[in-house]
Structure 1
């Protein structure tokens, strides 16, 4: 719908207008101006269509590159549906197994990647979600939804379990993860203390608010709870200046900020309302954040198809939306990772490929 602003009397006030009338009309003018400013701000939001992005197929039999980590010139690392972390070594080397959990080789029921799609097997196979490198040590940290916080050395191999609980409460659904490159500390989320990942829908339907924001201290090897009783905390990332964390909450479609330093240290506050259900959040190259959207918000008029299908937004450092990503129907994203040269790598927990937008 097109909105137009109109004026009468060529913008001049009638001479007979009373003070009260002038006051009312001044207020109306202010409202109109505010709406115009809002429209102008909305028009400044850049829209980028991802449907023409390059597709990097995953190996046959696996899917779900939920989160992405990068090392070296061509190295791309991602957790997939059979519990492994894979490495892409470039077109010549292709995909290879980089890391796996103890069950991957020891449990006889895991005879094929496809068996891990069965809900009763997923908890045995493991499901690596958030992945990030400590660039100083070369260690890769992994938030496995079922098996806990893990890490593996620069050469890969069997991942070591670092923690499976905090404050005596077991992890049920580890999800997002980020590493402070200055200290080596790891920040991560447990989306629910009641439901594991395969009961993801129950978290939403029951308005579960038992999630936690957690910290693994690289020096003491201890896990502390930074914030508890959270509704579906998902992705987490450290701000560029390391003063706060940004946490995406799948429900209620919002991002929050947890202050680590400064006068607000320890406070948890609303950072942004989002136009969809967010998954992971990553820093962009300008001090802001990319937030992947797994699904748009439910519409009041479900019969009317939305004009565009949103799969991600970029927020400025102040939480204001400055760019949106769109895609073809049926495509969902779980991560938007910006790399050098403004390349956008697109991960999805549902698709069998990784996208690249240049």
Structure 2
């Protein structure tokens, strides 16, 4: 026995924390996408620092930084266009034109530096608008269009240089601000780097936090779907090319201020370098994915490589060939990773742990056990038969109207004599699960994937909370609610609710059972302060939540653990957690108060020997997940449940079942109301009604808990 206990302890410790789970969650993070290129950039810098004496000297760093500042604007410009699903091959020509226009305005026409910059940026916007009009509104192909405009802009530049070269050679402007733009700094940081940092911050906010940025990414991901979603595709494509023109022109301004040279070779090949930079940074060439940070990381790699190769003596064709090879390699990796990233995550995402359930109770009809099954639910009267799709929870208001939520996101209401009047009371926009009425008769609902919402008596829907306190040190951001499941309201108005799992959604929640981990939590929301905080973490699929009759504690179900917990919220035991019922014969779901001071509990499914054994063998479940399709995985039996009644001490009073699940294949909730028990089920097409005996036939849940309406 001692050896067995020691072995179990070792297995528990082995599977308690999983590096595989850490990696799977890490791969899901968006900030992981630039980690590889960022690491590559650091390694390239360290390699050249080791191989080239004086590579990290102040002079070399400042010189490279000034080039980085100018080229960085072009990289950001082309990244924005690529994210939208396009491409801009004209950036090199626009850069050269901006350089020429800036020098012409400042030197020849002797405009002030700010005015010269404004004119140059306007010219960049105009050239970008030409691309945007042809591609966005007329619908021409981006590659061919920008290739043609690249040639046209370059030809115009050559004509202008031929016409004005002599005049520009003898014209010089004088401005301390202009000189500062070209060679000045602030606290040692070059002026163009300061401007680039400001643009990068604004651009990041624009792309990741602003609606136009979301639209641009959506267009790049799927232009047809974006148009069907009502996004003005043409306008935003036009906008991306205008932004590209302005940013490229801004880089040209700093180049003009630094070198004061209107050469016809300016910007030649820059479009290839910019494309190489954004691809090396991890921006997806097919569109829809990328960031400002990734483009700047790629810019760092390209400039460091060019600088290092030049100092090694490789120039001209050798450098271009090397960069071309790097771009080809990056594109290949990007395509392969984009196609297989989700598959890789799926292969390692489900991480089984060791979990041993207690002894199973005998549930045979003739066993004499408190859990002995019967068919008291078999002949339940059907309400809403055929109209309801998965009424997960059912509840009554003070007036005796019946409510339930369905898979379509509807809240149905049944009213009138014998509940014959049926109507859609409200639409939540998500999957409504647990429900409760507050003191003011607002219907409070857990909506899967959205959070906790309310429906006022006038049917208006409002949000209460969709986030909670974030766990320090956790890889995934668990501040957002993923699967708010069930709730109840304490006498002081605080809403206690469960979040069943952080790792799975309303569509894949059953997969959480294969892990046996504490992926859920108990949370409290205080309407008086608007604050939400997490009370209990690492709970094994916490589900039904019920405030006790005296308001001193909260009962909640741990579905896969097959037990009921009690958390004290008031009195001398406040803050203490204890097990109320251990080793249930099935998976517990919702808990609700009964008229006699006891509680009703739904068992959504019954335990099986195969599932119990599988939970003790994480290796078996891991092999199962890897080797067979997910529709053949061994899931818990969640299609043959029952209802049990227990008292304050956890003693089982009675059981109501439907052997074989002919009328109610799954039971996720039940409510006692005026002498009847009403049954809801996640897989049912009806609400069941069963007549109870020996109960208070005038008892109404909300009225008994909150009192009659004043």
1:279 paired with 2:612, answer: no
Q: Is the 8 A contact 2:546 2:554 kept in 1?
A: yes
Name 2:499's counterpart in structure 1: 190
1:87 paired with 2:413, answer: yes
Name 2:655's counterpart in structure 1: 324
TM-score (norm 1): 0.75
Where do residues 249-328 of structure 1 align in structure 2 (5 Å cutoff)? Answer: 249-273=558-582, 274-299=584-609, 310-328=641-659
Displacement of 1:301 after TM fit?
10
Q: Which has the higher helix share?
A: 2
SS at match of 1:161: strand
- CA distance 1:198–1:322, shift in 2 (3 Å): same
Q: Is the 8 A contact 1:47 1:323 kept in 2?
A: no
Deviations 1:110-133 (CA, angstroms, capped at 9, x unpaired): xxxxxxxxxxxxxxxx10001111
Q: How many residues align?
A: 287
SS at match of 1:170: coil
Residue in structure 1 matching 2:435, options 95, 116, 131? 131
Residue in structure 1 matching 2:377, options 50, 70, 91? 50
Where do residues 22-33 of structure 1 align in structure 2 (5 Å cutoff)? Answer: none
Instruction: Quote the Cα distance in structure 1 between the aligned partners of 2:587 and 2:667.
Output: 10
Deviations 1:10-30 (CA, angstroms, capped at 9, x unpaired): xxxxxxxxxxxxxxxxxxxxx
Residue in structure 1 matching 2:455, options 138, 152, 168? 152
1:96 paired with 2:399, answer: no
Instruction: Quote the Cα distance in structure 1 between the aligned partners of 2:603 and 2:684.
Output: 14
- CA distance 1:53–1:264, shift in 2 (3 Å): same
Which has the greater radius of gyration?
A: 2
Residue in structure 2 matching 1:162, options 452, 464, 477? 464
Instruction: Quote the Cα distance in structure 2 between the aligned partners of 1:310 and 1:320.
Output: 19
Deviations 1:35-60 (CA, angstroms, capped at 9, x unpaired): xxxx9994698966111111102563
Deviates further, 64-73 or 76-85: 64-73
Q: Which has the higher strand share?
A: 1
- CA distance 1:286–1:72, shift in 2 (3 Å): closer
What 5-or-longer segments of structure 1 have no aligned partner?
Answer: 1-38, 104-125, 303-308
Displacement of 1:92 after TM fit?
7.4
1:347 paired with 2:674, answer: no
Deviations 1:166-198 (CA, angstroms, capped at 9, x unpaired): 013111111011122x32221110011221121
- CA distance 1:54–1:44, shift in 2 (3 Å): closer
Instruction: Quote the Cα distance in structure 1 between the aligned partners of 2:448 and 2:534.
Output: 17
Q: Is the 8 A contact 2:643 2:667 kept in 1?
A: yes
Q: Is the 8 A contact 2:599 2:646 kept in 1?
A: yes
Residue in structure 2 matching 1:333, options 659, 667, 671? 667
Where do residues 7-18 of structure 1 align in structure 2 (5 Å cutoff)? Answer: none
Name 1:31's counterpart in structure 2: none
Q: Is the 8 A contact 1:48 1:324 kept in 2?
A: no
Where do residues 201-216 of structure 1 align in structure 2 (5 Å cutoff)? Answer: 201-216=510-525
Name 2:689's counterpart in structure 1: 356
Displacement of 1:94 after TM fit?
2.0
- CA distance 1:290–1:41, shift in 2 (3 Å): same
Instruction: Quote the Cα distance in structure 2 between the aligned partners of 1:83 and 1:50.
Output: 27
Q: Name the structure, 1 or 2, with higher relative contact order (CA <8 Å, separation 6+).
A: 1
Name 2:259's counterpart in structure 1: none
SS at match of 1:166: coil
Displacement of 1:268 after TM fit?
1.3
TM-score (norm 2): 0.39
Instruction: Quote the Cα distance in structure 2 between the aligned partners of 1:317 and 1:281.
Output: 13
- CA distance 1:44–1:64, shift in 2 (3 Å): closer
Residue in structure 1 matching 2:392, options 39, 47, 66? 66
Name 1:248's counterpart in structure 2: 557
Residue in structure 1 matching 2:401, options 75, 79, 85? 75
What 5-or-longer segments of structure 2 have no aligned partner?
Answer: 1-365, 471-478, 613-639, 692-710
Q: Is the 8 A contact 1:74 1:88 kept in 2?
A: no
Instruction: Quote the Cα distance in structure 2 between the aligned partners of 1:92 and 1:209.
Output: 40
Name 1:108's counterpart in structure 2: none
Q: Is the 8 A contact 2:467 2:480 kept in 1?
A: yes
Name 2:444's counterpart in structure 1: 141
Instruction: Quote the Cα distance in structure 2 between the aligned partners of 1:183 and 1:301.
Output: 41
Name 1:6's counterpart in structure 2: none
Q: Is the 8 A contact 1:310 1:324 kept in 2?
A: no
Q: Is the 8 A contact 1:65 1:353 kept in 2?
A: yes
- CA distance 1:42–1:143, shift in 2 (3 Å): same
- CA distance 1:247–1:299, shift in 2 (3 Å): same
